[in-house]
Chains A and B, each alone.
Chain A
Amino acid sequence: DAGVIQSPRHEVTEMGQEVTLRCKPISGHDYLFWYRQTMMRGLELLIYFNNNVPIDDSGMPEDRFSAKMPNASFSTLKIQPSEPRDSAVYFCASRRYRSSGGRGSTDTQYFGPGTRLTVL
């Protein structure tokens, strides 16, 4: 079974350009997450979807960032206009929620390989 697929793997763009990152979650997973990782701030949750519906976007840095999930097998994260401080690795992750009663959730997140974004 294929894991989470992200494209592109690397993106270099100039300040002011629009950037679109793509993610295909694992089939059957009902949660999809977008993260950003930098040396300074570590791994930050930007937004997550449950059954294609955005649930919490409080981690999105500002209005320049937007995310969509038109169907269960595809999501995009868009930055418009991009700025140098957006340079980071952007990960998409998916999971299937399973409750294990007293032990809490045993859900595991599976991460894609990430998109390394450089904004010049």
Chain B
Amino acid sequence: RKEVEQDPGPFNVPEGATVAFNCTYSNSASQSFFWYRQDCRKEPKLLMSVYSSGNEDGRFTAQLNRASQYISLLIRDSKLSDSATYLCVVNAYGSASKIIFGSGTRLSIRP
């Protein structure tokens, strides 16, 4: 079993739709969680950190479920510019060597 698993997609949704991704992790000692966004042929960029209480940034909402060991990303009112690959990132507290990137979920927004 991979340490961080994501549905590779692609998710193909119409503009304005709501879309959600999940990501599961196997290491219960994981402490930090992030969502990164990667555009085609570009570098990954931090989208948002994921906190235990859940957090929201505009149209984006991230949640963490420690009991079930998964994190989620919800995108509301999706825009064409949201088309990208979304990478789930998990690492153990204070341990840079335990930074694990998921393989990414590809999202395509159609007009």
- Bound CA–CA A50/B96 (angstroms): 9
**Pairs of residues from A and B, 6 with the lowest C-beta to C-beta distance, nearest first:** A111-B43, A56-B97, A42-B103, A104-B31, A43-B101, A104-B32
Is A55 an interface residue, CB under 8 A from the partner? yes
State how many angstroms separate the Cβ of B32 from the closest Cβ of chain A: 4
A42 x B93 contact (CB < 8 A): no
Which residues of A, 14-46, contact B by the 8 Å Cβ criterion?
31, 33, 42-43, 45
B42, B91, B101 — most chain A CB neighbours (10 Å): B101
Is B71 an interface residue, CB under 8 A from the partner? no
- Bound CA–CA A48/B95 (angstroms): 11
17 additional contacts, CB 8 Å, given A43-B87, A112-B43?
A31-B96, A33-B96, A42-B101, A43-B44, A45-B99, A48-B97, A55-B96, A56-B97, A91-B43, A103-B51, A104-B31, A104-B32, A104-B93, A108-B49, A111-B43, A111-B44, A111-B45
Instruction: Please judge, given known A-B contacts A104-B32, A111-B44, whether A48 and B101 are in contact too, CB under 8 Å.
Output: no
Tally of contact residues, B, Cβ under 8 A? 22
A-B contacts, 10 listed (Cβ < 8 Å): A33-B96, A48-B97, A50-B96, A99-B94, A105-B32, A105-B91, A108-B34, A108-B46, A111-B45, A113-B42
Is A80 an interface residue, CB under 8 A from the partner? no
B102 x A105 contact (CB < 8 A): no
The residues of B with any CB-CB pair to A shorter than 8 Å are: 31-32, 34, 42-46, 49, 51-52, 87, 91, 93-94, 96-97, 99, 101-104
Tally of contact residues, A, Cβ under 8 A? 25
Is A73 an interface residue, CB under 8 A from the partner? no
The residues of A with any CB-CB pair to B shorter than 8 Å are: 31, 33, 42-43, 45, 48, 50, 55-56, 58, 91, 97, 99, 103-114
Contacts of B87 in A (CB 8 A): 43
- Bound CA–CA A56/B77 (angstroms): 42
